[in-house]
């Protein structure tokens, strides 16, 4: 018989909320953020952080603008306890930052937790116990009353102990752990019981943290759960509703965003989504998502590479190269049509000169998080002319005319196909220099020359010069209306070429005393084929002569030039 794994699972029951309000709301302000990297993130690591790594992470969180940071589970280990002490005794916590610590509802653990906080200016004591039916039955062997009693007894003890230390500004946080699969009525009931003990006020609210300890439903169900909870809690104005989504179904961010629409005030999560199993909600992504909607998240990730480096060091886990906003490849397009659109977007941006960001395929300006535009386009066999042209412009300041781009991109495409790997900037530049003789590899080189001046009769101008071809110097002359046409005439006559210039372009490279000129020519041959040439020189006249010679070198390869 075929096994049917799907029959092992039950669908998640929806919340009864037909008049839900959240779908028609938008996020217009950031939540209160709380980083739980040093606790929930830390407890998921193969090797939990030592004091040095915790300290580096803590400093990063402060720099990034977090005002609430869960720093430890002090009763878990001496390392965690000592870390809390080191922050307090070392006076390392800014006045406006509250450190948060987690504890189970067990007397000895609570006492140790409060002990760790002695002397803190501001502290959030966070108590949890699991409330869902399956945990009550399988893990705690407890009924609902017993589960409430555990939360209430822990809250009473914390109240008693914190009341003995009025020098600290205390906030109390309670988490009905496994909220995401707790009966909504019971979640409200247990939180009300905890509030009855703590007696929060609008001025001194309690934090009710509603964790998706395991993500078990679609994000809309999570939003319904949060809205239902907010609407049924009797003293809503005395509570900060906090979210703590995990990412088991890969929709932690969506759940958190919809949870905010549903009325939550606060979000707990980790940078880059570290955490148990598939992680906590990723605060970096959530914050930058807000950015892209014109909402200032109130967190600073403007030096993203430094943030990534520190987090990788502390967690000893690499941030994925495709991680939203932060991955090293997220601003890089390899494919031709993406490159084309990005290039056009940047060109339009230079002209439009306003503050609105509108570059196709780039939801955020890389500069906003400290990234340059250099890596926005990289070239491989999936790339097109726009990508190759971008690389040459960024690296060499060259702005190839459209038909020139098409011709050169075929050469790059051939390299990419042959090597079957990324064609780096260095390889593209080298291929360009070689193809157009900028490296001196062409058969022809111009030794010296002069062109007769214009006279009043309009007589043709005469090119007289010496050209080295295959190691031998030859004197040549030719006539034309200008320097270029007379040079072309001389080359055609003396070497059996049949060049006809059909396009000419030039532009400056750089500014000031280092300015150079780049000149591009396209010539057609008798068979209708085009050959291209480029010349670069401080003098624009010289640049154009070199461009013609470059085209001649390419034509010579094609035509079997007479010696
Ligand atoms: C969803 C979350 O992230 S919750 C946070 C989880 N984080 C951690 O567990 C990391 C830190 N934890 C630890 O270091 C240890 O678990 C400690 C120090 C807290 C406790 O260690 P131990 O005393 O050895 O207990 P153990 O780890 O086996 O925990 C299970 C016991 O705690 C009880 N328990 C679990 N949660 C709670 C709670 N919130 N309140 C009271 N008791 C609890 C269980 O019922 C079980 O009791 P039992 O042994 O009588 O059956
Ligand atoms: C303790 C709680 C908030 C938790 O970490 C979880 O439920 O994931």
> What's the CA gap between 415 and 429, in Å, rounded?
12
Q: Is the pLDDT of residue 559 over 90?
A: no
Residues 240-250: tens digit of each pLDDT: 999 999 999 99
H helices within 353-471, ranges in order?
Answer: 385-396, 402-419, 425-435
Nearest-CA neighbor of 462 among 453, 452, 449, 447? Answer: 452
136 C-alpha vs ligand 1 centroid, how far in Å?
14
Say how many C-beta atoms besides its own lie within 10 A of residue 381's C-beta: 18
The pLDDT score that the predictor gives to residue 560 is 43
Mutate to test the pocket of ligand 2, among 211, 248, 267 (most ligand atoms within 8 A of CB): 211
At 352 the pLDDT is 83
| Residue 280 annotated as lining a ligand binding site | yes
Q: Could you give the CA distance from residue 130 to residue 231 in angstroms, rounded to a whole number?
A: 22
Q: For residue 193, give the H/E element and its range.
A: helix 184-198
| Average pLDDT score, the chain | 96
pLDDT, residue 414, reads 97
Angle, vertex CA 42, rays to CA 36 and CA 43, nearest 5: 105
Q: What is the DSSP letter of 42?
A: G
- Cβ of 73 less than 6 Å from ligand 1: yes
What ligand is nearest to the CA atom of residue 135?
1
Nearest residue (CA) to ligand 1, atom 18? 76
- Tokens 């003890």 locate to 157
Closest Cα to residue 406, out of 486, 503, 481? 503
Residue with the smallest CA separation from ligand 2 atom 5 is 40
Q: What is the pLDDT of residues 84-94, one digit of tens each?
A: 999 999 999 99
Tell me which DSSP letter residue 237 carries.
Answer: G
Which atom, in ligand 1's list, is nearest to the CA of 211?
Answer: 1
- DSSP 8-state assignment for residue 460: P
Ligand 1 atom at shortest distance from the alpha carbon of 106: 41
Q: What's this model's pTM, rounded to 2 decimal places? A: 0.92
ipTM of this complex > 0.90?
Answer: yes
Confirm or reject: Cβ of 76 under 6 Å from ligand 1.
Answer: yes
The pLDDT-based confidence of 561 (bands split at 50, 70, 90) is very low
pLDDT value at 478 more than 90? yes
Q: Label each residue of 371-392 as H, E or C.
A: CCCHHHECECCCCCHHHHHHHH
Q: What is the rounded average pLDDT of the residues 538-548?
A: 97
The predicted-structure confidence for 438-453, as pLDDT tens digits, reads as follows: 999 999 999 999 999 8
Whose Cα sits closest to atom 32 in ligand 1? 104
Residue nearest to atom 8 of ligand 2 (CA): 213
Residues 433/442, Cβ–Cβ less than 8 Å: no
- In this structure, the residue with its CA closest to atom 7 of ligand 2 is 213
- Report the residue among 84, 104, 137 best suited for mutation to probe ligand 1: largest number of ligand atoms under 8 A from its CB: 104
CB of residue 128 inside a 6 A radius of ligand 2: yes
Q: Tokens 């967190």 identify what position? A: 299
Cβ(213) – ligand 1 distance below 6 Å: yes
Average pLDDT over residues 422-444: 96
Q: How far apart (Å, rounded) are the C-alpha atoms in residues 468 and 474?
A: 6
Q: What is the pLDDT of residues 107-143, one digit of tens each?
A: 999 999 999 999 999 999 999 999 999 999 999 999 9
pLDDT of residue 1: 58
Q: Is 445 in the pocket of ligand 1 (CB under 6 A)?
A: no
Q: Is residue 40 lining ligand 2, measured as CB closer than 6 Å?
A: yes
Q: Of 187-191, 219-223, 281-285, 454-458, which gets the smallest average pLDDT?
A: 454-458
Q: Tell me how far apart the alpha carbons of residues 52 and 105 are, in angstroms, rounded to a whole number.
A: 29
- Please name the residue ranges forming H helices in 14-73: 51-64
pLDDT at 18: 97
Q: Is 40 annotated as a binding residue?
A: yes
Task: Please tell me the predicted confidence (pLDDT) of residue 558.
Answer: 53
Tell me the two tokens of residue 475: 């004197």
Q: Which helix (H) or strand (E) holds 274?
A: none
Strand order in the sheet with 472-480: 444-451, 461-469, 472-480
**C-alpha radius of gyration, the chain, whole number:** 35
Measuring from atom 3 of ligand 1, which residue has the nearest CA? Answer: 40
3-state secondary structure 153-182: HHHHHHHHHHHCCCCCEEEEEEEEECHHHC
Question: How confident is the model over 27-67, as pLDDT tens digits?
Answer: 999 999 999 999 999 999 999 999 999 999 999 999 999 99
Give the HSE-up count for residue 211: Cα atoms under 13 Å, Cβ half-sphere. 24
Which residue is closest in CA terms to ligand 1's atom 14? Answer: 76
pLDDT at 205: 98
The CA-based angle 27-33-39, given to 5 degrees, is 140
- When pLDDT is cut at 50, 70 and 90, the band that residue 562 belongs to is very low
Ligand (nearest to CA of 100): 2
pLDDT digits (tens, 9 = 90+) for 314-366: 999 999 999 999 999 999 999 999 999 999 999 999 888 778 999 999 999 99
**Confidence band, pLDDT 50/70/90 cuts, at residue 456:** confident
DSSP code of residue 99 = E
Q: Which atom of ligand 2 is nearest to the CA of 128?
A: 1
Residue nearest to atom 2 of ligand 2 (CA): 177
């Amino acid at each position: 018989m075929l096994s049917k794994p799907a029959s092992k699972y039950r669908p998640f029951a929806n919340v009864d909320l037909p008049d839900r309000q959240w779908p028609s709301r938008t996020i217009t302000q950031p939540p209160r953020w709380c980083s739980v990297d040093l606790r929930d993130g830390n407890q998921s690591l193969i090797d939990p952080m030592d004091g040095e790594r915790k300290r580096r992470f803590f400093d990063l969180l402060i720099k990034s603008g977090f005002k609430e940071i869960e720093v430890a589970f002090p009763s878990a280990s001496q390392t965690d306890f000592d870390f809390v002490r080191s922050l307090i005794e070392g006076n390392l916590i800014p006045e406006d930052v509250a450190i948060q610590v987690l504890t189970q509802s067990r007397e000895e653990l609570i006492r140790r937790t409060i002990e760790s906080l002695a002397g803190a200016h501001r502290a959030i004591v966070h108590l949890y116990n699991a409330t869902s039916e399956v945990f009550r039955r399988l893990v705690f062997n407890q009924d609902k009353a017993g589960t409430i009693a555990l939360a209430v007894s822990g809250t009473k003890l914390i109240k008693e102990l914190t009341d003995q230390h009025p020098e600290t500004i205390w906030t109390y946080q309670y988490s009905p752990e496994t909220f995401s699969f707790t009966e909504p009525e019971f979640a409200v009931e247990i939180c009300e019981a905890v509030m009855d003990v703590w007696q929060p006020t609008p001025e001194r609210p309690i934090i009710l943290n509603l964790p998706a300890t395991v993500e078990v439903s679609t994000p809309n169900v999570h939003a319904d759960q949060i809205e239902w909870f907010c609407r049924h809690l009797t003293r809503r104005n005395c509570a900060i509703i906090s979210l703590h989504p995990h990412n088991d179904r890969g929709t932690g961010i969506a759940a958190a965003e919809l949870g905010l629409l549903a009325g939550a005030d606060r979000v707990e999560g980790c940078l880059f989504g570290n955490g148990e199993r598939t992680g906590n909600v990723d605060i970096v992504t959530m914050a930058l998502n807000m950015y892209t909607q014109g909402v200032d998240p109130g967190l600073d990730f403007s030096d993203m590479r430094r943030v990534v480096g520190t987090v990788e060091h502390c967690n000893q886990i690499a941030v994925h190269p495709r991680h939203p906003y932060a991955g090293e490849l997220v601003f890089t397009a390899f494919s031709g049509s993406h490159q084309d659109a990005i290039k056009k977007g940047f060109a339009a941006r230079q002209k439009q000169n306003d503050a609105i960001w509108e570059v196709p395929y780039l939801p955020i300006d890389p500069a906003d998080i400290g990234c340059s535009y250099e890596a926005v386009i990289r070239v491989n066999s999936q790339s097109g002319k726009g990508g190759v042209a971008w690389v040459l412009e960024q690296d060499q300041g060259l702005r190839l005319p459209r038909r020139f781009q098409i011709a050169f991109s075929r050469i790059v495409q051939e390299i990419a196909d042959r090597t079957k790997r990324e064609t780096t900037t260095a390889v593209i530049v080298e291929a360009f220099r070689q193809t157009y003789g900028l490296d001196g590899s062409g058969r022809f080189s111009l030794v010296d020359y002069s062109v007769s001046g214009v006279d009043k009769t309009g007589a043709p101008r005469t090119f007289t010069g010496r050209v080295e071809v295959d190691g031998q110097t030859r004197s040549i002359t030719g006539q034309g209306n200008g320097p270029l046409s007379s040079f072309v005439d001389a080359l055609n006559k003396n070497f059996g070429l049949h060049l006809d210039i059909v396009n000419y372009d030039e532009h400056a490279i750089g500014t000031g005393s280092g300015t150079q000129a780049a000149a591009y020519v396209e010539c057609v041959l008798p068979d209708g084929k085009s050959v291209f040439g480029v010349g670069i020189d401080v003098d624009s006249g010289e640049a154009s002569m070199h461009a013609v010679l470059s085209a001649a070198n390419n034509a010579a390869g094609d035509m079997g030039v007479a010696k």
